[in-house]
């Protein structure tokens, strides 16, 4: 039973961080665990398991977080999400062949940077806040439009979240892989 405690706590943290990050975007901008969960699931799990947990958490939390942030549950922001999933899928394919802790944390960082660039490009292309010139592209990737927090904070928090949650998932995985202690022999009578 105690073997499953880390995994259970991680699921609770997933839902909690996802919800809190959406409710308080100024205080916790983009401290989201889903990219790390998807990466670690694709690297270390097999069969339907590698998709099941990320999909369930996403199905439960994404419509709620989208509505809290003032977006439709299904809209242009989902383009970034689908492309981000494809990036994680590609990186995880390499990482599966090199499943060390360092490779997984490096993959988490690569996914964070790639997802930031990708979402910035999608925002630049579709969001009317961004002027369609070099300055608008720079705003989408680093400074943001006037009146908004800088987009580099999105990257920083995405890196922190991906590395921290990947570390947590790696720790939970190692605790689940530990063999159960052998029961003590009963005393001879």
Contacts of 59 (CB under 8 A, 6+ apart): none
User: Is position 18 within any domain?
Assistant: yes
What is the pLDDT at residue 78?
A: 76
Q: What are the distances in angstroms from CA 161 to CA 61, 76, 127, 188?
A: 17, 23, 25, 53
The whole-number average pLDDT for the span 182-189 is 57
Alpha helices in the chain (DSSP H): 5-23, 34-44, 49-68, 77-97, 101-126, 134-138, 151-177
User: Is position 77 within any domain?
Assistant: yes
For the chain, what is the domain count?
A: 1
What is the pLDDT at residue 17?
A: 76
User: Is position 50 within any domain?
Assistant: yes
Task: Report d(CA 133, CA 40) in Å as an integer.
Answer: 37
Contact of 41 with 53, CB cutoff 8 Å: yes
What is the pLDDT at residue 140?
A: 93
Q: Within 10 Å of residue 12's Cβ, how many Cβ atoms? A: 10
Full residue range of the structural domain in which residue 149 is found: 2-177
Q: Would the pLDDT of 75 be above 80?
A: no
pTM value?
0.77
């Amino acid at each position: 039973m105690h073997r499953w405690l880390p995994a259970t706590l991680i699921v609770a943290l997933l839902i909690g961080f996802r919800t809190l990050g959406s409710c308080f975007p100024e205080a916790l901008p983009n401290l989201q665990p889903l990219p790390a969960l998807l990466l670690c699931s694709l690297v270390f799990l097999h069969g339907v398991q590698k998709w099941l947990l990320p999909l369930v958490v996403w199905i439960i939390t994404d419509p709620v977080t989208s509505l809290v942030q003032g977006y439709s549950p299904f809209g242009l922001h989902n383009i970034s999400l689908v492309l981000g999933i494809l990036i994680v899928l590609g990186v995880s394919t390499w990482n599966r062949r090199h499943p060390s802790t360092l490779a997984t944390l490096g993959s988490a960082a690569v996914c964070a940077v790639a997802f930031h660039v990708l979402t910035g490009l999608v925002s630049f292309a579709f969001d009317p806040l961004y002027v369609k010139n070099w300055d608008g592209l720079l705003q989408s990737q680093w400074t943001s439009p006037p009146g908004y927090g800088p987009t580099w904070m999105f990257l920083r928090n995405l890196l922190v979240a991906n590395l921290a949650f990947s570390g947590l998932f790696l720790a939970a995985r190692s605790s689940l892989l530990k063999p159960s202690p052998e029961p003590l022999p009963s005393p001879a009578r």
